Structure 1
Amino acid sequence: MALQSDQHLFEAKFDELLTEMTERGLTDPDLVDAYKRLREVLVYNVTGGKKNRGLSVIGSLRELLPPSQLTQDTVQRALMVGWCIEMIQGFFLMGDDIMDGSVTRRGQLCWYKKDGIGLDAINDIVLLEASVYRLLRRHCRTQPYYVHLLELFNEITFLSELGQALDLMTAAPLGQIDLSLFSMQKYKAIVKYKTAFYSFYFPVAAAMYMAGIYSEEEHNNAKQILLDIGEFFQIQDDYLDCYGDPVVTGKIGTDIQDNKCSWLVVKALEVMSMKQRTELEACYGRKDEASVAKVKELYNTLQMPTLYHKYEEESYQRLQKLIAQHARNLPHSVFLNFAKTIYKRNK
């Protein structure tokens, strides 16, 4: 999404923001330990990912504004907003890991699993979110798009947390495993709200506001395309949870054990026989390795990898049509750059 040089600028910006967010700890002896903790939380939970969301802000802005309007201040603010989105991502993942009982994230132990952390991580999550709004106020308060950005951050966070609620209620309602709750409609609702809004519409919408594009129609057009990309991204994530290499993805998949309403199980339910459904019901959502292995064997029998790759191709073709239909006044490159980043990825 971004120029190669943007990656270097983005990395450098984090070090600058880290100093800024924790500098008070150097001058206030009462808070020095708390700011040290904040620094640890930021470094451990915000920096380890692919950073596609954060980089998409400056990358999209470069497509939306002519070079003459991309002043140094504008670029620096875009980098800062990008890191704010990465921080939102960080606090989502920290909470998600606790709720799912995950062990690893981005190739390292989940934060709450580290010695001496445990459920104190809940306060770290709240602290991380609060830090976002301090940065936005400090750097964007005088900008004409400031209120739009605040409303965007609030709305996307709210929608994503609604999506997480749907996910949790479907995964284990009152601790019971009930595959009748799973459907493609329910799955798409979870994906739309839990992932698609914050992963794809969020950074582009932020860039659009920074570029002075406030039109509700233009934002709705972008949303149509980006939510579709987000749906495919999550389906791809579900596939990699089961079929990805943990060495490459940086995490050990747990969707089967966690009784998640994933694309694989929903698709399997659509194509399997009653006998196979009975087998699935006996094994899905169980923690033991034998049950997980049986579910994966069932997926292979149903040729889920073949069905997934067929879906991937159809999704890419649909995206081309959506771009032609809805991106009449927006650069197509904003959306095609996302496609290049995610299609055929392996982590």
Structure 2
Amino acid sequence: MGDLKSTFVKVYSVLKQELLEDPAFEWNDDARQWVHKMLDYNVPGGKLNRGLSVIDSYKLLKEGRELTEEEIFLASALGWCIEWLQAYFLVLDDIMDNSHTRRGQPCWFRLPKVGMIAVNDGVLLRNHIPRILRKHFRDKAYYVDLLDLFNEVEFQTASGQMIDLITTLEGEKDLSKYTLSVHRRIVQYKTAYYSFYLPVACALLMSGESLEKHIEVKDILVEMGTYFQVQDDYLDCFGDPATIGKIGTDIEDFKCSWLFVKALELCNEEQKKLLHENYGKADPENVKKVKALYHELNIQAVFLEYESKSYEKLITSIEAHPSKAVQAVLKSFLAKIYKRQK
């Protein structure tokens, strides 16, 4: 795996160099330096799971045959397109959420010389994706499908972000707006499509498969993405900040969190009142009360039951798939996230 990661990281340098010499723009040193620094700060950080998943999935679809150098390069390039998409969302998300840190360093827009230039940097990151695709995939039979896929997933993610933002706005006035079905919609659109479906869809297209034929694969991956986000909500509250790399703020931020929605379902009138009075307040005392109520309602046990039920259901759907190679791809995804601590 270490070997695969270092190959993957080398491809980043190649793509970056190509973008810094893109013939559609007359570069000067200042522009080149800015983009160079902006890319290094925002794109290659993080766990790179989404990008590496493209190579992993493609390998499994090829059922263990040795990949050519070109195949590894192309699968890596698609993986990096997903990391670029992720960087674009995060740079803009951090501004919208007024966040302070990301991946253990200050958010890009917080840097003294950056500020609101970060908005345009987000737009640039988004525009790099079709540049990479055009340079390396233009002669491929699946080129149009790739462009279409990235456009579709970006639209779904931005729409999910919108429901998240407007629900939070409504939630501040009326917490009864937070329901499991609302939580599910937000998660499906905001996270599941780009983090789970997109890497596998890229690998399928590279393998010459049509995405229309694989609707059930999309459904399973979206289901997996939902399960992943519920874990995330759980870890935000009960995870160890040293392990997950950030301090959770879902309670303070009024988030439509799975824990909160579950607590609303389970609590009596008195507890509901306590939730309404303390949820979405920045004061540590309020947060403590919400967490104490979660303990009282035994939300941890409720989550563990949800986790094992989801796992069973996912395994059953995966094993119903006719292709062994596709099953292997889906199982490898599930193995990476089941019972994770970060």
TM-score of the pair, normalised by structure 2: 0.94
The alpha-carbon deviation at position 73 of structure 1 amounts to 1.1
Q: Which runs of 5+ in 2 are unaligned?
A: none
- Please point out which of 310, 313, 320 is paired with 1:318: 313
Aligned residue for 2:139, secondary structure, equals: coil
Q: Where in structure 2 are the equivalents of 1:100-115 lying within 5 Å?
A: 100-115=97-112
> What amino acid does structure 1 have at the position aligned with 2:308?
E
Distance, in Å, in 2 between the alignment partners of 1:329 and 1:189 is: 30
Distance, in Å, in 1 between the alignment partners of 2:181 and 2:121 is: 34
**Structure 2 partner of 1:195:** 191
> What amino acid does structure 2 have at the position aligned with 1:148?
D
- Please point out which of 329, 335, 339 is paired with 2:334: 339
The answer to whether structure 1 residue 261 and structure 2 residue 256 are counterparts is: yes
Distance, in Å, in 2 between the alignment partners of 1:177 and 1:285 is: 11
Distance, in Å, in 2 between the alignment partners of 1:114 and 1:272 is: 44
Aligned residue for 2:300, secondary structure, equals: helix
The answer to whether structure 1 residue 89 and structure 2 residue 86 are counterparts is: yes
**Structure 2 partner of 1:5:** 3
Distance, in Å, in 2 between the alignment partners of 1:165 and 1:303 is: 32
Change (3 A) 1:236 1:67: closer
Q: Structure 1 residues 107-116 or 86-95, which shifts more?
A: 107-116
Aligned 8 A contact 2:51 2:78 in 1: yes
**Structure 2 partner of 1:149:** 146
Distance, in Å, in 1 between the alignment partners of 2:35 and 2:192 is: 28
The answer to whether structure 1 residue 121 and structure 2 residue 145 are counterparts is: no
**Structure 2 partner of 1:131:** 128
Q: Where in structure 2 are the equivalents of 1:1-347 lying within 5 Å?
A: 3-23=1-21, 28=26, 31-66=28-63, 70-173=67-170, 176-217=172-213, 219-328=214-323, 330-347=325-342
> What amino acid does structure 1 have at the position aligned with 2:183?
Y
The alpha-carbon deviation at position 202 of structure 1 amounts to 0.4
Aligned residue for 2:210, secondary structure, equals: coil
Aligned 8 A contact 2:159 2:190 in 1: yes
Aligned positions, number: 341
Aligned residue for 1:313, secondary structure, equals: helix
> What amino acid does structure 1 have at the position aligned with 2:102?
R
The alpha-carbon deviation at position 304 of structure 1 amounts to 1.6
> What amino acid does structure 1 have at the position aligned with 2:153?
I
RMSD of aligned residue pairs (Cα, Å): 1.9
Distance, in Å, in 1 between the alignment partners of 2:297 and 2:113 is: 44
The alpha-carbon deviation at position 336 of structure 1 amounts to 0.8
Aligned 8 A contact 2:178 2:256 in 1: yes
Aligned 8 A contact 1:102 1:254 in 2: no
The alpha-carbon deviation at position 330 of structure 1 amounts to 4.5
Which digits, 9 at most, give the CA deviation of each residue in 1:150-199, with x for residues without a partner? Answer: 000000000011100010011113x8432111000111011110011111
Distance, in Å, in 2 between the alignment partners of 1:115 and 1:246 is: 27
Aligned 8 A contact 1:18 1:39 in 2: yes
Aligned 8 A contact 2:236 2:250 in 1: yes
Change (3 A) 1:327 1:56: farther
The alpha-carbon deviation at position 297 of structure 1 amounts to 1.6
The alpha-carbon deviation at position 327 of structure 1 amounts to 4.8
Q: Which runs of 5+ in 1 are unaligned?
A: none
Identity %: 45
After TM superposition, which residue ranges in structure 1, 4 or more long, deviate above 6 angstroms? none
Distance, in Å, in 2 between the alignment partners of 1:346 and 1:114 is: 31
> What amino acid does structure 1 have at the position aligned with 2:5?
Q
Which digits, 9 at most, give the CA deviation of each residue in 1:213-266, with x for residues without a partner? Answer: 01513x202112111110011111111111222222222222111111111101
Aligned 8 A contact 2:11 2:77 in 1: yes
Distance, in Å, in 1 between the alignment partners of 2:17 and 2:319 is: 44
